[in-house]
Chain A
Amino acid sequence: MTADISVRNLVKHYLVPVREGGLRASIKGVFKRRHRRVRAVDGISFEVARGEIVGFLGPNGAGKTTALKVLSGLLYPTDGEVAVLGHTPWQRKRDFLSRMTLIMGQRQQLFWDLPGIDTFLVNKAVFGLDEPTYEASFNLLSEMLELGDLLYKPVRQLSLGERMKSELAAGLLHSPSVLFLDEPTLGLDVTMQQRIRQFIKDYNAATGATILLTSHYMADVKALAERVIVIDQGLVLYDGLLQGLVESYAPHKTITLQFEQPVEIKDLERYGEVERIDELQFRIKTAKDAAPGATARLLADLPVADLSVEDPALEDVIDQVFRTAAE
């Protein structure tokens, strides 16, 4: 396997002006600015193999977008080495820029007052696509995203979801091999999120493109990425399979129980932490190794009507990751 993306000790610090509130401070700020150093990315390393989909997870301000911007050549790093498709991104070589794309959910490239097709034609010229290549790419995207006549309406008349579909198509016309997607489902309703996710998955399967995406919707990550990189405060907290994240950070399972008749809560407490949902329903958080034994005994000893064993929600796991890091 070749690595399409390789990052070694990437550091990105920048200065932001600081100013206390109040008129006096404002006036002082005009003449003399004080700056604060922000460590957006503070030494991260990872590799992404060709054709992989990797989810970049982290709370707001964790450094996800900054890292993505360095990888796509928008920002110079403070330190470290990065290679994407064999290029150093910030040199912005034509070959590199022609083979990658950056799509940001909260920023659009489509001309606002014109139909989407006009942006497509400009991009066709910008990427120097000949007619057959453009046709083929256009048809593929149009079909996969069910664009229909969306591209012929002024962009400002489209719904958020329709706009995002057009944005994706505009960013993928040149058939890039590496995709950087920053919050591609931001603000969309659940159905549209689902559609966009399915598209990303299908696109990856159809073209073998390498995809690095950030999102703070866990559902995106769960549906798309087998591998996740969790970052917080500019550091990588976890890099590995999504499943492994759950196992290493959530060494417990949740047993949900429905009883036929009321039970004593102390009969449950020996298995773990008990949460009462209503009179007959309980949830027990138990150590992962103890879960099979506990299940067997619960079934044998108590009037159980229904029982299920689950991994904790991904949100809780991630929360656990950040809390562990903070400690």
Chain B
Amino acid sequence: MRLARIAWAFLRSAVQHELAYRADFFGNVVRSLLGTGTAFGGLMVVFSHTESLGDWNFPQMLGLLGVFYVVQGVMAVFMSPSLNKTVEEVREGTFDYILVKPVPSQFIASTRRFVLWHVTDVALGVAIIVIAAGRLEDKVTLMDVLVFLAMIFTALSIVYAMWLSLTTLVFWWVRMENVTMIFNVFYETGRYPVEIFPFWLRQALTFIFPVAFITTVPARAITGREASWLTWIAPIVAIVVVLAASKFWRIGLSRYSSASS
């Protein structure tokens, strides 16, 4: 309850912050439309030559693209802004003010910044998923939707854990820009189902940098594809990585507290 009120206070200040920069909103809408439009067009071109990509047909690929944008949008709304802000504050020393607050530091570090304009990415992603679902051969059942929502939640938890872990590295390495860039490069692979990649890369994208759980698994649920064993272990993976990331954060903090002056 108290934490919800704090997040609400951060959100309110974010709204005020962004109302001051309205031009960003329109810029972002245009950027989102162009981005999704290009991706959409790209898919059309590919599917004008072939019936399927690694046995995913056009509507299914579209569903995957929608999931990709939803997750990317949520990341851009609060995960990357909050955590980038935290990296900046650790570097500048103002992070001390977070540590002296009577609230778990991980909570503040993860919720303090919202960039609301990126909600447009989420909305476009949802629209693409809806269009894709309408073009599938089989009707989407309520059960599909529920499993899909659970998988999206799982995917977001995993993405959050990854962001938090990357952020935690700042306690060892002060410069972090490259790390964020590497993250984005890997995330781009989420535009495609992991099945299309060669064996070794597929394994890496499932178990090391788990993009499979972030886009492929939720997209399977909403596009009527058979759930694989990955669907069943996804929630467990999410719980494990979130707990591990949180532990890593605490280790980073204790390093900060013992190594700095």
Contact = CB atoms under 8 A, between A and B. Distances in A.
Interface of A: 12, 14-15, 38, 40, 65-66, 69, 72-76, 90, 92, 94-95, 97-98, 100-102, 104, 107-109, 111, 113-114, 118-119, 121-122, 124-128
15 contacts: A66-B261, A72-B100, A75-B261, A97-B101, A107-B94, A108-B94, A109-B94, A111-B13, A121-B13, A125-B6, A125-B9, A126-B102, A126-B103, A126-B108, A127-B101
The 7 closest A-B pairs by CB, nearest first: A97-B102, A125-B9, A109-B97, A118-B13, A94-B102, A125-B6, A98-B102
Given A14-B261, A126-B101, 5 more contacts: A100-B100, A107-B92, A109-B94, A111-B13, A128-B5
B259 interface: yes
A97 B97 CA distance: 11
Contact of A74 (B12, B92, B103, B257): B257
A128 B101 CA distance: 11
B140 to A, nearest CB: 40
Given A124-B9, A126-B102, A107 B259 contact: no
Contacts of A119: 13
A323 to B, nearest CB: 25
A123 B122 CA distance: 30
B100 A40 contact: no
B95 to A, nearest CB: 9
A293 to B, nearest CB: 51
A62 to B, nearest CB: 12
Interface of B: 2, 5-6, 8-10, 12-13, 16-17, 20, 92-94, 96-97, 99-103, 108, 254, 257-261
A94 B5 CA distance: 17
Contact of A102 (B92, B96, B102, B259): B96
Contacts of B94: 107-109
B252 to A, nearest CB: 14
A127 B12 contact: no
Given A73-B100, A114-B13, A90 B257 contact: yes
B13 A73 contact: no
Contacts of A121: 9, 12-13
A309 B96 CA distance: 47
A59 to B, nearest CB: 15
Contacts of B96: 69, 74, 102, 104, 107
Contacts of B99: 73-74, 92
Contacts, number: 82
A155 to B, nearest CB: 12
Contact of B6 (A15, A111, A126): A126
Contacts of B92: 107
B13 A107 contact: no
A270 to B, nearest CB: 51
Nearest to B8: A125
Contacts of B8: 125
B121 to A, nearest CB: 23
A252 B101 CA distance: 48
Nearest to B100: A102
A34 B258 CA distance: 18
A121 B5 CA distance: 11
The residue in B8, B13, B17, B254 that gathers the most chain A C-beta atoms within 10 A of its C-beta is: B13
Contacts of A113: 17, 20
B220 to A, nearest CB: 40
Contacts of A73: 99-100
B260 A107 contact: no
The residue in A102, A114, A118, A126 that gathers the most chain B C-beta atoms within 10 A of its C-beta is: A126
Nearest to A113: B17
B96 to A, nearest CB: 5
A119 B14 CA distance: 11
The residue in A94, A95, A122 that gathers the most chain B C-beta atoms within 10 A of its C-beta is: A122
